[in-house]
Amino acid sequence: MKIRTAFTLIELLVVIAILSLLVSILIPALKGARIQAHMAVCLANLNGLSKAYHSYANNNQSKLVNGDVPRYPGQQGLDLRTLGNRPPYWVDCPQDETYHYMGEPSQAPCPPTLEHKKLGIMRGALFDYVGDPTAYHCPGDLSRILVPNGLSGQDANPYPDNYSYCSYSVSDMLNAWNPTNDRRAVKKMTDIVLPGSKFVFIESTDNRGWLMGSWNFLMERTPPQSDTLAIWHRKRSGFGYADGHGEIHTWTDPDIIAAAADPKRTWFSYTNTNSDDYKFLVRGYIPGRNTK
């Protein structure tokens, strides 16, 4: 009797169908596992950054590190050491090994590279407490994909490395860029009421090349507006708080979720100020003043 050693066409089709079914089941599961892994690393980053933020204040008479990330317009290659009394920014602007400013994204042929941005991170005031530039970057951050290729026309970005490596901004109310005369802004840790509920770090994006300035929330406007939010973890974002811990927030407002997915957007306009997400941002953004 002759022994059959090959599959029939029907058997091959059945095997292919089974493999296709298994792949269709496994791919979403693998994608979900990858998102969970990215979120875990992001949360670890935010825990580390928040503890570093708190430690800096403890070691500096409760003074908060400057939450701004500076941009120095003008001549490319400006020597940052000649600027005099520069505040201790938590992250500095992109620069080369000799402290020359490399930040103007429009000044070809030398827009800031990834290494220039990492040097800015490493020369920021929090780095001594953190010790690793990768702790400033969420592995789920898609800005490298979305920002360079998501713009068109006059907003087109010709530089493939012109995206933000740092994934987190500091709340503008915490000794940062804009509200110098806002009575709600604070400059000392002891001025923050309920620091466990006030966020310092927030996932954000910036299509100008890196996260310049700080995260600004103008709730007095009609409608209220803010800098961009980043939602990299399937409707969830990471926050770091003033008491030294990190949390993951799950968004439910469809307008906020949709706006975060648009790489062309630089500002959010909040259409539903009664949503739980909007109230969450208001509670976490205003640090208040300690009246004791």
Q: How far apart are the first and last CA of the chain?
A: 97
Q: How many CA atoms lie within 13 A of 69 on its CB side?
A: 30
Whole-model pTM over 0.75: yes
Question: Interior CA angle at 20 toward 15 and 26, to 5°?
Answer: 125
**Which range, of 17-31, 66-80, 151-165, 174-188, averages the lowest pLDDT?**
151-165
Q: Are 253 and 275 in contact (CB under 8 A)?
A: yes
Residue type present at position 166? C
Query: What share of residues in the chain are helix, strand, coil (percent, to 5)?
Result: 35, 15, 50
> Residue 163 — very low, low, confident or very high, per pLDDT cuts 50/70/90?
confident
Measured distance CA(144)–CA(207) in Å, rounded: 10
**Which range, of 24-38, 39-53, 180-194, averages the lowest pLDDT?**
24-38
Q: Are 86 and 80 in contact (CB under 8 A)?
A: yes
**Which range, of 10-19, 96-105, 172-181, averages the lowest pLDDT?**
10-19
- Selected residue with higher pLDDT from 214 and 179: 214
- Residue 180's alpha-carbon distances to 27, 89, 122, 184, 199, in angstroms, are 50, 15, 26, 10, 19
Residue type present at position 59? N
Measured distance CA(118)–CA(126) in Å, rounded: 13
Question: Interior CA angle at 63 toward 61 and 67, to 5°?
Answer: 155
- How far out from the chain centre does Cα 198 lie? 17
pLDDT of residue 154: 47
Measured distance CA(284)–CA(3) in Å, rounded: 74
Measured distance CA(88)–CA(222) in Å, rounded: 34
Q: Per-domain residue ranges for the chain?
A: 10-62+132-285
Q: Indicate the helix (H) or strand (E) that contains 32.
A: helix 9-58
Please list the alpha-helical segments (H only) found in 223-275: 254-260
217-218 and 225-227: which strand pairing? antiparallel
Q: Are 106 and 114 in contact (CB under 8 A)?
A: no
- Selected residue with higher pLDDT from 32 and 203: 203
**Which range, of 74-78, 229-233, 259-263, averages the lowest pLDDT?**
259-263
- Selected residue with higher pLDDT from 210 and 233: 233
- Selected residue with higher pLDDT from 162 and 221: 221
Question: Interior CA angle at 212 toward 268 and 275, to 5°?
Answer: 25
- Report which listed range, 28-32, 109-113, 159-163, 202-206, is most confident: 202-206
Measured distance CA(47)–CA(240) in Å, rounded: 6
- Selected residue with higher pLDDT from 135 and 27: 135
